Amino acid sequence: MKQNYFPSAEKFKLLSPIRFQKFALSIIISIVFGTSVFAQDTRLSLNEKEYFEAPGVNILAFSNWYNGLFSDSKISGIEIIHHGERTATNGDVRLHATPEQWDAIPTFTERKVDKATGRVDTYQSYPDYDFNYMIRAEAKNDGVLLSVHLENPLPEDLVGKAGFNLEFVPSAYWEKTYFMDNKSGLFPMYPSSDMERNAFGNTAPKPFAKGNKLVLGPGDPERRVTITSENLPLMLHDGRDKAQNGWYVVRSLLPAGKTGKVLEWFVAPNAIPNWTRKPVITHSQVGYHPAQNKVAVIELDDNAIPEKTATLKKITPSGKEVDVKNGSLQDWGKYTRYNYTTFDFSEVKEPGTYVIEYGKETSTPFRIAEDVYDEAWHPTNDIYFPVQMDHMLVNEAYRVWHGASHLDDALQAPVDHEHFDLYAQGPTTDTPYEPGEHIPGLNIGGWYDAGDYDIRTQTQYDVVLNLVHAYEDFNLDRDQTLVDYDSKYVDLHTPDGKPDVLQQVEHGTLALIAQHRAVGHAIPGIIVPDISQYTHLGDGLTMTDNLIYDESMDSLESNGYKSGKFDDRWAFTSKSTALNYGSIAALAAASRILSGYNDTLSIESLDTAEKVWKEEHSKEPDLFHHGNTTGGNLEDEEIKAAVELLLATKDQEYADRLKELWPVIDSNFASHAGLAIKALPFMDSTFKEKLRARTEAYKTELDSFSAENPFGVPIGRGGWAGNGQIISFALNNYLLHTAFPELIDKEYVFKGLNYIYGTHPDSSISFVSGVGTKSKKVAYGMNRADFSFIAGGIVPGVLILKPDFPENREDWPFLWGENEYVINVGARYIYLVNAVKSLLDE
């Protein structure tokens, strides 16, 4: 039987004009040249987005640059997107065979694109070595020629050190083989290379293969890449021997004494003719309440021919699937590199378990039920927050997550010092303590900030604020965790008669108030001084002996209270008025719900907040600023303090200051709308009228997101993915809806949570570990080296690499911009889930 290669008339109608032209052109070519429509050309060419493209293959040439905050974030140089997955990155000249995150990176100078010749030239340098070079990428048949060009010979200091590297993500090549000059090998699952101390005094892995022609994954058409170097040998290294986040590195050393084209590789990723990425049916992995809109968004390859319909099926207890709705699809259009269509099944309200069928693809099961959100916040409350608690031993049944760490906090940071993780100390300590002197009283409360072990004050107070609001607005009295401060002991799944949210607010408040007790003001934070500690993975207790450092002692000497081991964290203490405002906002908020629970701490917190407010308004502000550790914009933080103090005291002084700050609220309404709503009962009619008018204008801004992307939320394009921003967006929309339900629809709240639960680009995974049918199981937490997760943690989400590639890897936890848990997002998430539940319970 002869196969019909032409699409049905119905499918033909669904093609966009551009896609219609592409398909029609392929048919004309097949008729003229007598070839199959599917005999597609696999040659690479430079497209209009300035990267090289063939079916299933993209090669980017410095479309992205190294992360300005954290050096090497594995999103730069020559990169390969291979049949839908980014498998290679960091194709560049580097000074180590297996560079670590903080190793030297080059300085970008210029990128030139010649579309006529299909060539991209990128000019870079290492200024410390007076070393300049150019990398050229040019299409040739089914691959790209990569070459390094020098005007001057390689500096003597870099001979044997500088080489061209291309890094391949290990998870894409596990359980696969390679050939190096026809000699076969197996990619190691776990790093086990021979190590050597090289001529530069560094310990480095020896290459586990050498030759002039490397074939990666020869048996896998989706991952096969051939690299040929005629003149310089290729070396294959395992970067994980140096760091758990290392990749497989292909490298050739640059030759000494040569100029012009000094290195040339031919890189040919295999392209499967007519390859198209499978459709992705994105939906909420948690499910839907019967009363809410239910819209699945289906993500399609640019070359895919769309189906006309999708089918909702209900799963019976016997396992039978019953068709419930066969519905037409609504073509949304193109966002980034994919096309999207939507399937609306909002009219289906009957409780049960369902799947969506689109063509040959079937979604994961999800529920429709009135209780879908009842327990969705419990893992964050029960597991994630207790696990992150610093200065406490955290136990869960038969396991200990970590011991009571950092009981030796903290030494005064040195002056005029810039830390590698966005902290800095100014020209003075702004405290009574000398650099290196122990500051007593800081070893209490607080949470590990993210996948590392610092206490970043700005994050701490954001957590307290959101947990306070969640407790006040939704009466969260869940009790599943024992917290015993006398024993510095936390036990999960052990009720102790106290609401968990109250205990977490107390824990954060203790860390904040400790700073004011110790030095009289909020401090940027507390963090380890050395990178070797910072990169630590596992139990935080093993970072420190918990004894106060005494420089007069030998490194192995101890008296049981002090020791000569320099493992104490540093306290960065430069004074910042913005940071002070953010801190006292949280203290004022905490004072409200701690009253009757911990009266002493409640009174001290409010007294401190009022005192600091008066002090800050009696003098010029302290404007010290560095990185993201010294507070946000000064007036933004002052708004937080004014609102929380107003709610705590009902004092007209704070309402008057809020009225003066209206221009700030107006100019950054998306951030301040929720706070303005909180203050509304205490404001005059003029303020209320301004707020309503601004909300009407904001409604138009909300509508613009539905025109920008098919998910209807603000998807960021920075180096850190935008789940935190999207949760805040939905949270503020909830508060606006409570005040102006006729202006702000509930859907602007639901869309944010649906996005987090799976209705987003790239995949349909829930970004909350352990929540939903399919959720993040490989994330950047303290246990990332085990390729594991912490239940209830929320990852940053989909990172959109320039120019058009959305990515969130589930097989590689070490990409922090996509996969790192951050505690303040967890607090906002707890609020948002309960906000959605509240709306639906109405």
* 440 belongs to a structural domain: yes
pLDDT confidence bin for 8, thresholds 50/70/90: very low
433 and 290 co-located in one domain: no
* 684 belongs to a structural domain: yes
Number of domains in the chain: 5
358 and 445 co-located in one domain: no
Q: Among all chains, which residue has been given the structure tokens 């946000």? A: 632
Is the pLDDT assigned to residue 493 strictly greater than 50? yes
Provide the mean pLDDT of the chain: 94
> 3-state class of 273 per DSSP?
coil
Give the per-residue pLDDT at 40. 59
Number of H helices, E strands in the chain: 18, 43
Residues 223-267 pLDDT 10s: 999 999 999 999 999 999 999 999 999 999 999 999 999 999 999
Residues 550-564 pLDDT 10s: 999 999 999 999 999
**What is the mean predicted confidence (pLDDT) over 803-814?**
97
The C-alpha atoms of residue 456 and residue 511 are separated, in whole angstroms, by 10
The C-alpha atoms of residue 261 and residue 268 are separated, in whole angstroms, by 20
672 and 786 co-located in one domain: yes
**What is the mean predicted confidence (pLDDT) over 207-214?**
98
Cα dihedral 675, 677, 682, 685 sign: positive
Is the pLDDT assigned to residue 6 strictly greater than 50? no
**What is the mean predicted confidence (pLDDT) over 144-158?**
97
Is the pLDDT assigned to residue 9 strictly greater than 80? no
The C-alpha atoms of residue 390 and residue 407 are separated, in whole angstroms, by 9
* 397 belongs to a structural domain: yes
Give the per-residue pLDDT at 70. 74
329 and 441 co-located in one domain: no
Is the pLDDT assigned to residue 591 strictly greater than 60? yes
DSSP assignment of 812-826: -TT-HHHHB--HHHH
* 656 belongs to a structural domain: no
720 and 753 co-located in one domain: yes
pLDDT confidence bin for 771, thresholds 50/70/90: very high
The C-alpha atoms of residue 202 and residue 769 are separated, in whole angstroms, by 38
Give the per-residue pLDDT at 784. 96
75 and 16 co-located in one domain: no
Residues 286-334 pLDDT 10s: 999 999 999 999 999 999 999 999 999 999 999 999 999 999 999 999 9
Longest dimension (CA), the chain: 89
684 and 587 co-located in one domain: no
pLDDT confidence bin for 69, thresholds 50/70/90: low
* 377 belongs to a structural domain: no
> 3-state class of 282 per DSSP?
strand
* 649 belongs to a structural domain: no
445 and 551 co-located in one domain: yes
Percent of the chain at pLDDT > 70 equals 95
pTM: 0.94
* 747 belongs to a structural domain: yes
472: which residues sit within 8 A by CB, 6+ positions away?
Answer: 592, 593
Helix axes 634-649, 652-660, angle to 10 degrees: 150
What CATH number is given to the structural domain containing 68? Answer: 2.70.98
441 and 577 co-located in one domain: yes
Q: Which domain holds residue 820?
A: 663-842
The C-alpha atoms of residue 94 and residue 96 are separated, in whole angstroms, by 6
173 and 244 co-located in one domain: yes
Is the pLDDT assigned to residue 442 strictly greater than 60? yes
Give the per-residue pLDDT at 201. 78
* DSSP E strand boundaries for 173-219: 177-180, 183-186, 195-197, 203-205, 209-211, 213-216
- Provide the terminal-to-terminal Cα distance of the chain, rounded to the nearest Å: 59
Residue ending a domain, choose from 224, 247, 269: 269
427 and 363 co-located in one domain: no
**What is the mean predicted confidence (pLDDT) over 177-198?**
95
What CATH number is given to the structural domain containing 315? Answer: 2.60.40.10
Cβ–Cβ < 8 Å for 595, 602: yes
Beta-carbon count within 10 A of 740 CB? 16
What CATH number is given to the structural domain containing 512? Answer: 1.50.10.10
> 3-state class of 123 per DSSP?
strand
Token duo for residue 86: 């980014």
* 312 belongs to a structural domain: yes
Taking Cα atoms as reference points, which of 452, 669, 653 lies closest to residue 569? 452
179 and 220 co-located in one domain: yes
Give the per-residue pLDDT at 828. 98
Residue ending a domain, choose from 305, 333, 368: 368
pLDDT confidence bin for 68, thresholds 50/70/90: low
**What is the mean predicted confidence (pLDDT) over 764-783?**
97
Residues 741-766 pLDDT 10s: 999 999 999 999 999 999 999 999 99
Residues 18-59 pLDDT 10s: 444 444 444 443 333 333 444 557 799 999 999 999 999 999
